[in-house]
Structure 1
Amino acid sequence: MPEAGDGPRQAGAPRRRGAVLEDAILRAAAEVLGESGVAGLTMDEVARRAGTNKNAIYRRWPSRVALGVAAYRRLTAAETTVPDTGSLRDDALELLRRANATWSSPYGEILRGLIAAAGGTPGLLAELRDPEAGGDAYGAAWTAVLGRAVSRGEAAPRALHPRVVSAPVALLRNEYLTRGVPAVPDAVLVEIVDEVFLPLVHGRSAGRDTG
């Protein structure tokens, strides 16, 4: 039975449903975010671009912010690749530099807008930041980078700890908050890696519990 709530379609065209309709909605929402930011993301505009109606969107996402989070995850998942230089330090610096560049890019503006709009909804904030949910593509990349270091023997398996994985990006976000600027000097990124991240990894590798 066709899914109710799909919008106008050309005569003879099959009615979209399930994953096909969901993909069209997310693609339209990602386009709106890229062009107009969070402020321009409306259910009406997404429905128009996706060729559906608002009821079909609301059945999947209860608010425009929830839709925006899902669309942002789609955007960042397509953009993030995992560096593999053969060195944990070099991989870590590359990831921090990418994150720093992203934060000052249009993607960073979208992310800041979504964080502000989702401020009263912890579940949406978790989706933006949780690598297991796909919300934080950089978090997943850090896990992969540290996992490779373990495989190379550069770090012990117990170094692959969620607190260790999240530390560099958490410190970078703190720099944005305390400095009030959209980009952090490269020297600070080097400090985060050399003075905090690598000592955490080596401390756990040496058998000292860091948390």
Structure 2
Amino acid sequence: MDAPKTRRRGAELEAAILSAAWNQLVEEGYARFTFDTVAERARTSKPVLYRRWSGREALLRAAIRHRGASSPPAVPDTGGLRGDLIETLRNASTGESTMAALLTALVTSHFEDIGMTPAELRAEMIGSRETSVTTILSRAVERGEVDAARLTPRVVDLPFTLLRHEYLMTFAPPSDEAIVEFVDQIVLPVLQPAAH
């Protein structure tokens, strides 16, 4: 038996709907993020939602804004930059993190039908061949431009990690300016041996 609808009004009703919308998104993904499922979860009716939001995208945006405003991340203060950055990234990586939950919900929604993660799709595409970055870095080691000891798997993947991040955040290819910035300000300082 379904839970009875609850009489709420104004800000209380809107907050309940937006919380229900957020929970619907992160628990069942964007494919099941509909006015029907959100109304049922919020124990209200679809017309109540339509009076406030014109459609699914407007409701999604409102739910994200509401979650961001009601759950701001804690800012660590470990006493040093490195510690603060590590703690911030650790916090952002937890399942309770608003950003981690949002990205997981949106990204997995697009891969549910395929049955593979983006990493698995990438591995299928590359197969057993060496990646272009691996080839480039091997040549750079031979020329003495790169310290081979720095070439951990994550460091090798760094150029494409930055590229994927840009695509994920903008749904557009990075500008040439951004690519040059990635290489000059992020990748090369990590790869090249320290000057003596």
Shorter-chain TM range is: 0.3 to 0.5
Question: What's the TM-score once normalised by structure 1's chain length?
Answer: 0.43
Question: What's the TM-score once normalised by structure 2's chain length?
Answer: 0.46
Structure (1 or 2) with the larger CA radius of gyration: 2
